[in-house]
Structure 1
Amino acid sequence: MTVRNPVAPRAASEVKSYDIETDVLIVGYGCAGACAAHEAATAGAEVLVVDRAGGPGGASAMSGGEIYLGGGTPIQRACGFDDSPEQMAAFLVAALGPGADQQKIAHYSEHSVEHFHWLVDRGVPFKPSLWDAPAWVPPTDDGLMWLGENSWPFTELATPAPRGHRPTANDFGGKLLLDCLVHATESVGVTAQYDTYVTNLILDADGAVVGVVARRYGRELTIRARRGCVLSTGGFIDNDDMLAAHAPRLLGHTKVSAGTDDGSGIRIAQAAGAAVRHMSAGQVGASLIPGFAARGIIVNNRGQRFVNEDTYPGRIGQAALFRQDMNVWVVLDEQGYEEVPERERWGVRPTHVAESVDELDELVALPPGALAASITRYNEFASRGTDPDFHKAQRWLRPLTPPLAAIDIRAGVRPPSESGDRRGTGASVFTLGGLHTTLDGQVLDLNGSPIPNLFAAGRASSGLHGEGYISGTSLGDGTFFGRKAGAAAARNKAHT
């Protein structure tokens, strides 16, 4: 007996009638989906958004809310920074590579100021003030933050300028961002249907996408999309089978998602012949406090430094997982610990405290003398105000003096608003790879040709990223290219 592949496309000839019809169908109602829907509607299309959850949100609503914008935005200028699209692109190519999409980066950077104004016009607020210290998510409502632009090696590749734009909210701002975008989308006549899980694409005889099959409350329904379908269903961090096949290093860690990033949009498009890119790539949030790391040193299980501690913390996380298997410690002294305000510590306390380097060596069970050698070398350089090994900025260089503390990053951190056990592997991860798309969000097949009427945006697509990541590039990429995808779908001639 032949068993139908559960994600195989349905032939249009098998569909006798459609339960719902629309011009443009958006699958997934996070930030990318909201922006796609808005632009499709303002282009004159009838738009329906469906989401498997009971309302809009997804991973976007759970995020810090940072949007990577630059090139000379009003917020940058108000904070005293000059920037250009060329400098922004130079940084992103370096930070998001190898494999970063230089064409998308150049296009995004060129139109970044326009995208900032588009977001503001949709009601997203940004305060013209700078948070000027290392942090995952600042505890203030400052509208601008550094995301590694002022750390080595990027200082040698592009003129530093902060580009992390934050909606005006203390701590996590993703919910505010999403609420603004959803309100703007509803105001232009977009309708939404929830608790609806899309399981298959519907293709005509020429391979064009004409609709989808979905399930709602256990019942199958078909939705016709006369002009196009935009997949904005998120990544695949919640699908362990896909991780095992594509990104096994991401297995077994804390998942950064709303629990619905199962790769469904990617899989149904692949079943229709879609190509994918960078499926092994992932972002790693290391469970460390950036303010502690910058004021101390980060060492592996051999007691050796392996990264400059003042860089973007996600870069530290990738180095910690992919090169050190999360066997990583933050070592700092009492002054460094006390310099970080309590609200920025997220409840993290030292795992071990010792009156001497040798005692700390023994407590952490590092090779005898290894940590002492690393601290001695670091202190010698710090006293001269230079770090030839890893080029930490002079601002953070200071000799470490006993008593000393070591923090095992596997002990975990959790924002003050959350509760529960913090311990895990020390890594919180999500996927970066996805469907291969054009600048307009068209999904490409294995020959590099567009699949007619199929578009994708957000983490379901392979956007700006190669193997690297910077906070704000998911929301920036998703909102910008979501707009492009929605507008392109609306321009399609209605399929009869």
Structure 2
Amino acid sequence: MTTDAAHDPRAPRAAASVVHYADEADLIVVGYGAAGASCAIEAATEGAEVLVVERASAGGGTSANSGGLIYVGGGTALQSALGFEDTPEEMFKYLMAACGPGPDEKLVAPFAEHSVAHFDWLVEQGLVFKEAFFPGAHEPETDESLTYSGSEDCHPFCEIAKPAPRGHFASVMGSKGAILMKTLMASAQRRRVRVRGDTLAERLIVESDGRVVGVVVRSAGEERCLRARRGVALTSGGFIWNEEMLEQHAPWLRRCKMKVGTENDDGSGIQMGIAAGAATIRMDAADITLPVFPPVSFREGMLVNCQGQRFLNEDAYMGRWGEISLLHQDGRVWLVVDEPSFGQPKHIPDIEVVAGDSIAELEGEMGLPTGSLQQSAAFYNEHAARGEDPLFHKRAEYLRPLSQPPFGAIDLLPENSVYCAFTLGGFHIDADGRVQTPGGEAIPGLYAAGRTTSGISKQGYSSGISLGDGSFFGRRAGRAAATAPT
């Protein structure tokens, strides 16, 4: 840890050098998205005085701009009302398989075990969920409140854990992320949480023993010091908008056209923590989504690489499409369809398509090795006619021979398509949101949650996990900070 701000603008300031504190609270929360709001609510519920500093004029951030999908399960009231059986054990098995390789069991276990209680807490804050299920392969624009939001019901995960939909939405037409944040911020306001907008956190304030006791902020062009009697919680988002950090940790993400997040997802909170001695892990991890659905008919096609070979079951979650296409196939992939399965992707308006009256002609137009696509299509069609997929086990409802010309191939190279990405790497935390050092010790007075941390997803992802684990571990961080000694 260094306190030399001349060389590192994020270097913490020594508490002994602070002459005056402009404000103070038991807990200072940096960033007012779902993680920060949940942290503030829980700390205030425990009796702490909470001050939130938010660099934007108002709270919400990426959470408000999101689809509002919250990943919870294990047998929530909504799941049960709609006839879906789920248990914490099945949820745990799925997450350990889908959030890897190497997800942190110490985070996944409490998230699964207490997920039902967390859903109940969300309802207590004022979120309303409609007893209606959305069966599509994408986020609904209607007011249904439950959907499959990952790969729970497809191979290989459906063999590992009993499938159950765990994507929970507040029941509202339009922006579900906005209503989520409106509800959480109203709950925080009822608990007398104070918020300072247009206030940029720049550095942490630390004692000589390393304890975090405050934040240096900038507001209206002036630097101010804020004192935290019990601790500081960093909940300021990831770093998808920081080109230098992307180049250092995950340069392949720079090929993704759509950065999921606001420009305030610039890694500043992560940098502040690193300067104070925090450990980061999985900084190369990201959610990479290829939003090809709708139309759902694309699941009937063949996803092939530059050798004309299939490499994934096409009924998989869109995030799995994106991750495996970019990281395992360098993005050099095509979606092969016939006339009935073709459609205009809603979220990829400018698609690059080549066509042919036969698979052989299409293969030539794609520039694939001679015979490669023809062999793949012949094998696929033979088994699809019997409702089988011996290679990748696509569900029978999406299996049929691709036999009706004209045939098309949609170019899914990142430069010709739309890959959506945000970062998953960040602070190493324990189950109570305490930020760890590289040696595995908690930094006194420093907490974190949301995409500022490396949460339950270490690479694989399911939609809603960021709002799910961000709000869950935000609450735990708030509770831990509120009950910490002064």
Q: Same fold (TM over 0.5)?
A: yes
In the alignment, the residues of structure 2 paired with residue 293 and residue 306 of structure 1 have an alpha-carbon distance, to the nearest angstrom, of 15
Residues 113-160 of structure 1 deviation map (CA, whole Å, 9 limit, x = unaligned): 11111001111121111111322x223221111121110000110111
Residues 27-72 of structure 1 deviation map (CA, whole Å, 9 limit, x = unaligned): 0000000000111111111111111111112111121111111111
SS in 2 for 1:120: helix
- The within-5 A match list for 1:409-428 is 409-410=412-413, 426-428=418-420
In the alignment, the residues of structure 1 paired with residue 371 and residue 420 of structure 2 have an alpha-carbon distance, to the nearest angstrom, of 31
Residue of structure 2 equivalent to 1:330: 335
Residue of structure 1 equivalent to 2:433: 441
Aligned with residue 388 of structure 1, among 364, 376, 390:
390
In the alignment, the residues of structure 2 paired with residue 403 and residue 206 of structure 1 have an alpha-carbon distance, to the nearest angstrom, of 71
Residue of structure 1 equivalent to 2:287: 283
SS in 2 for 1:38: helix
- Residues 287 and 460 in structure 2, CA contact (< 8 A), matched pair in contact too: yes
Aligned with residue 296 of structure 1, among 290, 294, 301:
301
SS in 2 for 1:430: strand
Residues 406-439 of structure 1 deviation map (CA, whole Å, 9 limit, x = unaligned): 222348xxxxxxxxxxx75532211101101111
- Residues 68 and 169 in structure 2, CA contact (< 8 A), matched pair in contact too: yes
Residue of structure 2 equivalent to 1:403: 406
In the alignment, the residues of structure 1 paired with residue 142 and residue 88 of structure 2 have an alpha-carbon distance, to the nearest angstrom, of 28
Residue of structure 2 equivalent to 1:419: none
Which amino acid counterpart does residue 467 of structure 1 have in structure 2? Q
In the alignment, the residues of structure 2 paired with residue 311 and residue 244 of structure 1 have an alpha-carbon distance, to the nearest angstrom, of 29
Which amino acid counterpart does residue 398 of structure 2 have in structure 1? W
Residue of structure 2 equivalent to 1:414: none
In the alignment, the residues of structure 1 paired with residue 351 and residue 439 of structure 2 have an alpha-carbon distance, to the nearest angstrom, of 54
Name the TM-score, length of structure 1 as normaliser.
0.93
Which amino acid counterpart does residue 298 of structure 2 have in structure 1? A
Unaligned stretches of 5+ in structure 1?
412-422
Residues 81-122 of structure 1 deviation map (CA, whole Å, 9 limit, x = unaligned): 111000000000000011211121110111111111100111
- Residues 292 and 332 in structure 1, CA contact (< 8 A), matched pair in contact too: no
Q: How much has 1:331 moved relative to structure 2?
A: 1.5
| Structure 1 position 316 matched with structure 2 position 328 | no
Residues 173-218 of structure 1 deviation map (CA, whole Å, 9 limit, x = unaligned): 2111111111111111111111111111100122111101111122
Which amino acid counterpart does residue 54 of structure 1 have in structure 2? S
> Number of paired residues?
479
Q: How much has 1:354 moved relative to structure 2?
A: 2.8
Q: How much has 1:343 moved relative to structure 2?
A: 9.3
Quick one: structure 1 residues 277 and 343, their matched pair in 2 at CA, closer, same or farther if it must change by over 3 Å?
closer
| Structure 1 position 258 matched with structure 2 position 231 | no
- Residues 287 and 409 in structure 1, CA contact (< 8 A), matched pair in contact too: no
Identity over aligned pairs, percent: 47
Name the TM-score, length of structure 2 as normaliser.
0.94
Residues 317-353 of structure 1 deviation map (CA, whole Å, 9 limit, x = unaligned): 1001101121221121222236xxx896775767233
Quick one: structure 1 residues 206 and 350, their matched pair in 2 at CA, closer, same or farther if it must change by over 3 Å?
closer
In the alignment, the residues of structure 2 paired with residue 144 and residue 353 of structure 1 have an alpha-carbon distance, to the nearest angstrom, of 38
In the alignment, the residues of structure 1 paired with residue 452 and residue 114 of structure 2 have an alpha-carbon distance, to the nearest angstrom, of 22
In the alignment, the residues of structure 1 paired with residue 399 and residue 131 of structure 2 have an alpha-carbon distance, to the nearest angstrom, of 29
- Residues 253 and 424 in structure 1, CA contact (< 8 A), matched pair in contact too: no
- The within-5 A match list for 1:309-388 is 309-337=314-342, 347=349, 351-388=353-390
Residue of structure 2 equivalent to 1:461: 453
| Structure 1 position 143 matched with structure 2 position 145 | yes
Q: How much has 1:478 moved relative to structure 2?
A: 0.2
Unaligned stretches of 5+ in structure 2?
none
Residue of structure 2 equivalent to 1:185: 188
- The within-5 A match list for 1:2-13 is 3-13=6-16
In the alignment, the residues of structure 2 paired with residue 53 and residue 345 of structure 1 have an alpha-carbon distance, to the nearest angstrom, of 28
In the alignment, the residues of structure 2 paired with residue 396 and residue 35 of structure 1 have an alpha-carbon distance, to the nearest angstrom, of 40
The two structures, once aligned, show a CA RMSD in angstroms of 1.9
